[in-house]
Amino acid sequence: MKENEKEGTVARFHKKYGVRILAATIKETRHNPNVRTSCEKKEKKEKEEKRRDELRREEKKRVELRKEERRIGKERREGERKGK
């Protein structure tokens, strides 16, 4: 940031997320943890999406296991009927 420019007018470029952040926004976040920059919002959204994907995968696994257990139980019952 140049000395003759006012704080808040300068936009910094976030390398990882490719987002422009005003210098004032950067300063505010240091003092106030409730203020979120656009890159922090993006990070939070990505984490949430990963978590949802993981939950979906786990739910699919549970459903597959339940189907398999039902099929095995059904085969056992049919086997018992035939055995009588």
Please report whether residue 38 resides in a domain. Answer: yes
Number of domains in the chain: 1
Per-residue confidence band for 42, with pLDDT thresholds at 50, 70 and 90: confident
Please give the pLDDT value at position 38. 73
Q: Are 37 and 21 in contact (CB under 8 A)?
A: yes
**Strongest mean pLDDT among 4-8, 10-14, 65-69:** 65-69
Judge if pTM exceeds 0.75: no
Q: Is pLDDT above 90 for 62? A: yes
**Which of 30, 32, 29, 22 lies closest to 1 in space, CA to CA?**
22
Please report whether residue 31 resides in a domain. Answer: yes
Please report whether residue 35 resides in a domain. Answer: yes
Domain that holds residue 37: 11-83
Please report whether residue 3 resides in a domain. Answer: no
Please report whether residue 1 resides in a domain. Answer: no
